[in-house]
C-alpha cells in the first residue's frame, strides 16, 4: 500500500549552525491534513575501532542536550558534500589519534526518523595504529580502549546510553 504523505506547504522555523527546523502541512492517505515537525540534520558518521587484542575504543564527553558525560564510539557530523568514509577517518584520527588499515561499512540508518532526517553512517575500523589525538580546540574528551567483554558488561549495566554505540557493540557480539 502507498501510505506516502504529500507536502502541501512548508514553513521554515529556524536555520541554525547545525540543524534546521521546519513545520510542513501534509495530506494523509485518508485525505486529511496534518502538521509534521521536521529537524534537518547534515548527517553523521561513527566508528567502532577494534584492535588486535579485541579491545574497542570509546570516548567520554559531555553531551549538553542530555546534561551528562557519555561513553560513545568516536563520531562526528558530516560537512557539506563530505564523503562519509573520509569523515570517519578524520573524526577517528582527530578524536583518538588512531588510523586504521581496514574499514568496513556496517550500517547506514536513521537515528530517529519520527522527527529528523539525520542519517548515521557506521563503520568498523581494524588494523589500528595509535598516535596522539588532535581534538578541536573546543572539544574535551577522554579516550580509552576497553576489552570487548568489559564494554559488553558496561552495556548490560546500563552504562552505555548512546544509540550508535549500542548498535556497534551489539553488532560485534552477534553469533557467527
34 forms part of the interface with a copy of itself (CB under 8 A): yes
* Residue among 29, 127, 131, 147 that touches a copy of itself (CB under 8 A): 29
Active site residue 118: no
Q: How far is the CB of 49 from a copy of itself (least distance, A)?
A: 19
Sign of the torsion angle spanned by Cα atoms 24, 27, 30, 34: positive
Site string for a copy of itself, 70-109 (x = CB under 8 A): x-x--x-x-----------------------------xxx
Under DSSP, the state recorded for 163 is H
* Residue among 23, 104, 127, 131 that touches a copy of itself (CB under 8 A): 23
- 3-state SS string for 63-118: ECCCCEEEEECCEEECCCCCCHHHHHHHHHHHHHCEEEEEEEEEEEEECCCCCECC
Alpha carbon distance 98, 129 (integer Å)? 6
Question: Which range, of 79-87, 92-100, 124-132, 155-163, touches a copy of itself by CB under 8 A?
Answer: 155-163
Q: How far is the CB of 3 from a copy of itself (least distance, A)?
A: 4
113 forms part of the interface with a copy of itself (CB under 8 A): yes
Measured at the CA of 115, the angle between CA 15 and CA 58, to 5 degrees, comes to: 90
Question: Which range, of 28-36, 49-57, 84-92, 126-134, touches a copy of itself by CB under 8 A?
Answer: 28-36
Given 37, 118, 137, 139, the catalytic residue: 137
Among residues 37, 124, 31, 21, the alpha carbon closest in space to that of 74 is found at: 124
Active-site annotation, residues: 137
Amino acid at each position: 500500500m502507498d501510505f506516502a504523505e504529500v507536502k502541501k506547504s512548508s514553513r521554515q522555523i529556524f536555520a541554525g549552525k547545525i540543524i534546521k527546523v521546519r513545520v510542513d502541512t501534509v495530506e494523509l492517505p485518508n485525505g486529511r491534513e496534518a502538521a509534521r515537525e521536521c529537524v534537518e540534520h547534515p548527517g553523521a558518521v561513527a566508528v567502532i575501532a577494534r584492535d588486535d587484542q579485541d579491545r574497542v575504543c570509546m570516548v567520554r564527553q559531555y553531551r549538553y542536550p542530555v546534561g551528562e558525560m557519555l561513553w560513545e564510539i568516536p563520531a562526528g557530523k558530516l560537512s557539506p558534500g563530505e564523503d562519509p568514509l573520509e569523515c570517519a577517518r578524520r573524526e577517528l584520527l582527530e578524536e583518538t589519534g588512531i588510523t586504521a588499515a581496514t574499514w568496513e561499512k556496517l550500517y547506514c540508518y536513521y537515528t530517529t526518523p519520527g522527527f529528523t532526517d539525520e542519517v548515521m553512517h557506521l563503520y568498523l575500523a581494524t588494523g589500528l595504529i595509535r598516535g596522539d589525538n588532535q581534538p578541536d580546540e573546543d572539544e574535551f574528551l577522554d579516550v580509552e580502549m576497553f576489552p570487548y567483554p568489559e564494554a559488553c558488561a558496561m552495556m548490560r549495566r546500563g552504562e552505555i546510553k548512546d544509540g550508535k554505540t549500542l548498535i556497534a557493540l551489539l553488532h560485534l557480539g552477534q553469533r557467527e
